[in-house]
Amino acid sequence: MKRRAAPRWRWWVAGLFIFLMGVAAIGERSISRFWSLRGEVERLQREIQRLEAENEELSRTVDRLRDDPSVIEQIAREELGMVRRGEKVLRFPRK
């Protein structure tokens, strides 16, 4: 019994499928490139959220510095070692 050959269109479809899979796996628009870019987008979105939260905190700090003189005084005392007239500073030796 003679085996019947597959129609030519099936060979064309199989060849086209193999070609498209090769294009999808290799190149600038490949599937692996898509997944790596997707991961990069997610990382950048997390970074944006972190920076927005930091920006919000800095904005609150700026508002406090503008509106609350006690905040400025606290910074002057803690970071610059300033004191008011008549106050005495006690310094203890570090161990």
Which are the contacts of 18, defined by CB distance < 8 A and separation ≥ 6?
none
Domain tally for the chain? 1
Low-confidence residues of the chain: pLDDT under 70: 1-6, 27-28
pLDDT at res. 57: 97
Note whether residue 69 is domain-resident.
yes
pLDDT at res. 47: 98
Distances (CA, A) of 33 to 63, 71, 78, 93: 44, 50, 52, 60
Note whether residue 3 is domain-resident.
no
Note whether residue 95 is domain-resident.
no
Note whether residue 72 is domain-resident.
yes
Note whether residue 9 is domain-resident.
no
Which residues form the domain of 60?
Answer: 50-83
How many residues are there in the chain? 95
